[in-house]
């Protein structure tokens, strides 16, 4: 894997636009001309001027996708983070309209102050709404709530040529669904109207179980889940039969007297829950961490201590909602811990009934001696998504591996075969190395997606490194 660069590194100062970009994994950087969007007209202008033979263009949110989805080598990138803000709130219909660059953090803080929240959020709050739609992100409640896209009422989308469309499940449904999880390849999302729901409390009641191996972990997560949120943190560095032991946590809003609710709002910061979710993490990993700072022996000891410290069975532990939903946000820029070679996150999903294939994947990584420093297992429910949406009913496993690990790529190629053979897929928003020949098997509705693209982007203007690598923008270049 190539040596990673800082997320955004300035290459030329004359026009302040040529920049090196990479994803959260800090792998596979490429340089592009970056324009910071501050009004819708900037996007319209960029897409009006784009045409055949011109360098590709792609939107970028907060750059928290792990791989190469939000960059375009030699092309143009529209940085949407400056095009933020909350446009309006409809308390009767329980909807909020926002600009695409607003972060989930800022939105949750605003909604929380008036006793509202979003039904679905990903594991980090520092992503934009545009990025959340383009990846059709999922949270810890997919088994109950589906993914982010299930709660999007409409999208304002600027397509190549500069036309701005308002699309929804009722207006151009094909384009709407292709935009959910469409990785920015159907247009630039300018804004969206999203469902909101009442927020009772800034705390959750969590039931935590400690399991001894992967079999027990899967059995526990397979039980009928009446809880709102559930997730398992797995120890894949534990030796012998302990591999896959886990802390499985399932949680619901704190019952009884709402804690932290004042009038219609949640008072920020006062309750130890840190409900001002827009603030930056208090601890930041410095740049230029040397390689080898994270070592298997170190992480193995940390995992073992964490597992041992947890009680075998605990019911109703009171945990701050923000800390429960976004545990990794406590440490800013944590991917720097992986050093100059960065990290690869491989996130797979296999359909229910194919758990044996998931176990095979874990065993293969162990047989290849590849260290998995972080492993998170979740359950997906049966909800429809877009043709490129990642979730299908079953189990999803996210694995963090050091980018420089010996034999990583061939081993992940082998995992692809197992996953595709089981009717599963990998998450494009985390991907940096998938081969394009595997894509149609993993995403059987790929042709539906490509048909929408042929209609809205016949010249192949919208192009990212991921799209080129996976053949998603072929035809136009
Ligand atoms: C610590 C951490 C935890 C995470 N946990 C989860 C999780 O639990 N569940 C989950 O699903 N994901 C998770 N993710 C992944 C993350 O939620 C997604 O990658 C999300 O898309 C990132 O949003 P972003 O604003 O950073 O977008 P970027 O990374 O900048 O872009 C991602 C994609 O969205 C497109 N895009 C961005 N903005 C627009 C726009 N305005 N119009 C059109 N396309 C656009 C880009 O072209 C690109 O294809 C996690 C990431 C991190 C770093």
**Residue 186, in any domain of the structure:** yes
In the chain, the number of structural domains is 2
Query: Residue 415 belongs to a domain with what CATH number?
Result: 3.40.462
Residue 426 in any domain: the answer is yes
Residue 378 Cβ < 6 Å to ligand 1: no
End residue of a domain, out of 154, 175, 199: 199
Q: Is residue 450 part of a domain?
A: no
**217 and 326 inside one domain:** yes
Q: Give yes or no: residues 235 and 369 share one domain.
A: yes
Q: Are residues 170 and 216 in the same domain?
A: no
Residue 190 CA: nearest ligand 1 atom is 41
211 C-alpha to ligand 1 centroid (Å) = 31
The verdict on the CB of residue 130 being under 6 Å from ligand 1 is: yes
Mutate to test the pocket of ligand 1, among 61, 231, 232, 388 (most ligand atoms within 8 A of CB): 61
Q: Are residues 191 and 326 in the same domain?
A: no
CATH number of the domain bearing residue 105:
3.30.465.10
Check pocket membership of 389 for ligand 1, CB cut-off 6 A. no
- What is the domain range of residue 132? 82-199
Return the best residue to mutate from 123, 167, 187, 470 for the ligand 1 pocket (most ligand atoms within 8 A of CB): 123
Are 180 and 245 part of one and the same domain? no
Contact 231, 324 (CB under 8 A): no
Q: What is the pLDDT along the chain (477 residues), one digit of tens a residue?
A: 333 333 444 443 334 579 999 999 999 999 999 999 999 999 999 999 776 666 799 999 999 999 999 999 999 999 999 999 999 999 999 999 999 999 999 999 999 999 999 999 999 999 999 999 999 999 999 999 999 999 999 999 999 999 999 999 999 999 999 999 999 999 999 999 999 999 988 899 999 999 999 999 999 998 877 899 999 999 999 988 898 999 999 999 998 655 444 444 444 443 444 456 667 788 999 988 887 788 999 999 999 999 999 999 999 999 999 999 999 999 999 999 999 999 999 999 999 999 999 999 999 999 999 999 999 999 999 999 999 999 999 999 999 999 999 999 999 999 999 999 999 999 999 999 999 999 999 999 999 999 999 999 999 999 999 999 999 997 644
Residue 314 pairs in a beta bridge with: 208
Q: What is the pTM of this model?
A: 0.94
- 350 and 304 part of one domain: yes
Residue 146 shares a structural domain with residue 220:
no
Instruction: Count the Cβ atoms, other than its own, within 10 Å of residue 295.
Output: 12
158-184 b/e (C-beta count within 10 Å ≥ 16 → b)? bbbbeebbebeeeebebbbbbbbbbbb
Contact 411, 366 (CB under 8 A): no
Judge if 216 and 361 occupy the same domain. yes
Same domain, 194 and 330: no
Residue 323 lies in a domain: yes
Which of 239, 16, 23, 247 has the alpha carbon at shortest distance from 127?
A: 23
List the structure tokens of 78.
Answer: 């529209």
Q: Are residues 161 and 251 in the same domain?
A: no
Instruction: Confirm or reject: Cβ of 376 under 6 Å from ligand 1.
Output: no
First CA to last CA distance, the chain? 25
Same domain, 211 and 191: no
Query: 250 with 331, same domain?
Result: yes
CB 31 within 8 A of CB 11: yes
Which atom of ligand 1 is nearest the CA belonging to 466? 49
């Amino acid at each position: 894997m190539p040596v990673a660069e800082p997320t955004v590194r300035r290459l030329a100062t004359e026009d302040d636009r040529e920049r090196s970009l990479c994803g959260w994994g800090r792998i596979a950087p490429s340089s592009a001309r970056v324009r910071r969007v501050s009004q819708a007209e900037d996007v319209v202008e960029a897409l009006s001027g784009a045409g055949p033979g011109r360098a590709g263009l792609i939107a970028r949110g907060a750059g928290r996708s792990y791989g190469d989805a939000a960059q375009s080598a030699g092309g143009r990138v529209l940085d949407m983070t400056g095009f933020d803000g909350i446009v309006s709130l409809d308390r009767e219909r329980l909807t909020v309209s926002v600009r695409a660059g607003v972060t989930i953090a800022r939105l949750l803080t605003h909604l929380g102050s008036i006793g509202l929240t979003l039904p679905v959020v990903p594991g980090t709050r520092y992503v934009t709404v545009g990025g959340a739609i383009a990846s059709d992100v999922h949270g810890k409640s997919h088994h109950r709530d589906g993914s982010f896209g299930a709660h999007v009422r409409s999208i304002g989308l600027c397509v190549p040529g500069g036309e701005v469309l308002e699309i929804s499940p009722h207006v151009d449904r094909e384009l709407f669904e292709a935009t959910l999880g469409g990785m920015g390849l159907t247009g630039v999302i300018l804004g969206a109207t999203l469902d909101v729901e009442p927020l009772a409390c800034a705390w959750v009641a969590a039931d935590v179980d400690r399991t001894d191996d992967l079999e027990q972990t899967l059995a526990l997560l397979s039980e009928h889940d009446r809880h709102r949120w559930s997730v398992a943190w797995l120890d894949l560095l534990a030796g012998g039969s302990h591999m896959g032991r886990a802390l499985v946590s399932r949680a619901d809003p704190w019952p009884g007297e709402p804690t932290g609710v004042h009038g219609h709002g949640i008072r920020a910061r006062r309750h130890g829950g840190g409900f001002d979710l827009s603030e930056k993490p208090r601890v930041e990993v410095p740049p230029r961490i040397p390689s080898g700072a994270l070592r298997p022996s170190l992480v193995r000891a940390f995992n073992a201590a964490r597992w041992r410290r947890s009680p075998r069975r605990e019911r109703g532990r009171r945990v701050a909602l923000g800390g429960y939903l976004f545990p990794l946000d406590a440490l800013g820029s944590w991917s720097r811990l992986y050093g100059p070679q960065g990290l690869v996150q491989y996130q797979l999903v296999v359909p229910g009934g194919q758990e044996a294939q998931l176990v095979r994947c874990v065993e293969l990584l162990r047989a290849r001696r590849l260290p998995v420093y972080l492993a998170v297992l979740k359950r997906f429910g049966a909800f429809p998504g877009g043709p490129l949406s990642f979730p299908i009913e079953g189990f999803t496993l996210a694995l963090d591996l050091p980018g420089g690990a010996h034999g990583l790529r061939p081993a992940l190629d082998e995992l692809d075969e197992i996953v595709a053979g089981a009717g599963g897929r990998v998450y494009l928003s985390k991907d940096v190395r998938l081969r394009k020949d595997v894509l149609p098997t993993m995403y059987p509705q790929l042709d539906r997606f490509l048909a929408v693209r042929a209609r809205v982007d016949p010249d192949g203007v919208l192009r990212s490194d991921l799209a080129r690598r996976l053949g998603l923008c072929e035809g136009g270049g």
